[in-house]
A = this chain, B = another copy of it.
Amino acid sequence: MDSFDPSASSLGKDVDPAVMHELLQIRSSIDNFDATLVYVLAERFRATQRVGVLKAEHRLPPADPTRESMQIARLRRLAEEAHLDPAFAEKFLTFIIDEVIRHHQAISDGTAPLPVTPGSADADTRA
């Protein structure tokens, strides 16, 4: 299953073709949003990896509770503006931050497989 089939579905053959057409149209937009999310997340992790290296170099703690509560309050406000459930936005940010702290801890412990060095644009950000 190497190539992506945007019309793949378990919904069965008895779905009204007009309904299926509308469903596939909406799914095509969802696929575009998902690609955007992946690329923005990749850039976000690139930035947090730089923070991780900076913190490890200067022996700063991986977590920063004041910063995190500020981020959560701001994201809840942005979510309300965007008509997204603020509780979900908070859950989402917590999910991301947990992953970031795991990365920072790995950089700090020296267990990150491929650490980035600040300013190295080609460095691999997987950790």
- What residues of chain A have their CB less than 8 Å away from a CB belonging to chain B? 1, 4-6, 8-11, 15-16, 19, 22-23, 26-27, 29-31, 33-48, 50-51, 54-55, 58, 60-61, 64-67, 69-71, 73-75, 77-79, 82-85, 88-89, 92-93, 95, 99, 118, 124-127
Contacts and interface: CB of A to CB of B under 8 A. Distances in A.
B58 A19 contact: yes
How many monomers of this chain does the complex have? 2
A49 to B, nearest CB: 10
B8 A66 contact: yes
A64 B11 contact: yes
B9 A30 contact: no
Contact of A4 (B34, B66, B74): B74
